[in-house]
Amino acid sequence: MNRFSKRGAVDYTLRQMQILGNPCSKTSAYARATMLLGALVAAAALLTSAPLAAQPPAQGKHLAIYAIDVEGGQSTLLVSPTGASMLVDTGWADHNGRDAERIQAAMHEAGVSRIDYLLITHYHADHVGGVPNLVARVPVVRFYDHGPNREDSNSTREGYAAYLKAVDGHPRHIVHPGEKIPVPGLNVVVLTADGEHIHTVPGIKPVPNPYCASEQQWPADPSENSRSAGILVRYGRFSFLDPGDLTDAKEVALVCPNNPVGRVDLYLAANHGMAGANARAFVFALHPLVAIFNNGAHKGDTPLAWQTVHSSPGLEGLWQLHSGEDAGDLNSPAEYIANPAGGGDGAYLKVVASSNGSFSVTNSGTGYTKDYPAR
């Protein structure tokens, strides 16, 4: 048990500061400095490791998930039933802070004023680029990532450097497979990070994956995509998997020969629904009820990935942030697409999930909502 409550640690620190600044105190200067240092360390440790006090609940007893349109990047906002907020990635850096504004709009709709937990899956510009813009506008309490950049490219080196500069002074934690991100009201487990993956998920029994035998051998991917920090989010019987931009070889390694993840209700398609990700043995093993492509008008929604996800066993809905303007007939029906070809940009998809496993998806662009019963 921690020695101090968060409030108690702060109060204790302030008392020591008063002692240090009191010339009448009989405590020696050395002793006063030692006490103050110890108090500061205790307070800092608690404030960066203890669960956060939640923001006031805005969604009732539900989990809300917003797939935000950052034009072919990723930014996904989760608000737990307790009001705690978690953001996965921040979109692009440019466009005059466009993506930070869209994140703020989703936060406003969700009724939250800060980001309690910000996870950066990897250091490509469409995922980490928006961090400096966001922290200039929105309070962010804690940052999570997979550790140092591993890609030999100027783009990722620059993106990682800008990220480190932006998070300087904030609590930051490097995640590893099997760790939990302590979002109150949710069970958030790290499945993959820095090229490694989990072998068992607490509460889920690994089962043989029958699709592994027919899966082809995929080449190793040296990019940051393969280092993505992927997560499994559970709220009661509801489950959501966000693999970041994980690519084929790492996807297959996660679920073959045994699948430790089980079936999921909601699947955010890997790498925006692009080729080189969404391997059949991976997607079919997940058996998602609903999938979302966080694609752009000219990015993602590639034929092979679309066909694999669309044909996965048990799928009842494939939703897209954009109509794939290069995909032709390989697009979902209009009511499942937030931003249609030739239409406006910035519409999001909102998922509201109950602990019994039922959930709904709403297209903010059209107002269309579809309910999915628990299975």
Q: Can you say how many angstroms the Cα of residue 364 is from the centroid of all Cα atoms in its chain?
A: 20
| Per-residue confidence (pLDDT) for residue 12, from 0 to 100 | 36
* Angle of helix 6-20 versus helix 29-49 axis, rounded to 10: 160
Could you tell me if 140 and 118 are in contact, meaning their C-beta atoms sit under 8 angstroms apart? yes
**Model pTM score:** 0.85
| Per-residue confidence (pLDDT) for residue 55, from 0 to 100 | 56
352, 358, 363, 364 alpha-carbon torsion, rounded to 10°: -20
Query: In terms of C-beta density within 10 A (0-12 exposed, 13-18 middle, 19 or more buried), how is residue 19 classed?
Result: middle
Q: What is the chain's pLDDT, residue by residue, as a tens digit (375 residues)?
A: 333 333 344 343 334 434 334 433 333 443 444 444 444 433 444 344 455 665 554 446 899 999 999 999 999 999 999 999 999 999 999 889 999 999 999 999 999 999 999 999 999 999 999 999 999 999 999 999 999 999 999 999 999 999 999 999 999 999 999 999 999 999 999 999 999 999 999 999 999 999 999 999 999 999 999 999 999 999 999 999 999 999 999 999 999 999 999 999 999 999 999 989 999 999 999 999 999 999 999 898 788 899 999 999 999 999 999 998 877 788 999 999 999 987 778 999 999 999 999 999 999 999 999 999 999
| Per-residue confidence (pLDDT) for residue 73, from 0 to 100 | 96
The CA angle 142-76-133, to the nearest 5 degrees, is 60
Closest-CA residue to 350 (of 58, 148, 130): 58
Q: How many CB atoms lie within 10 A of CB 7?
A: 10
The CA angle 337-359-72, to the nearest 5 degrees, is 35
Structure tokens at 329: 């007939």
| Per-residue confidence (pLDDT) for residue 49, from 0 to 100 | 45
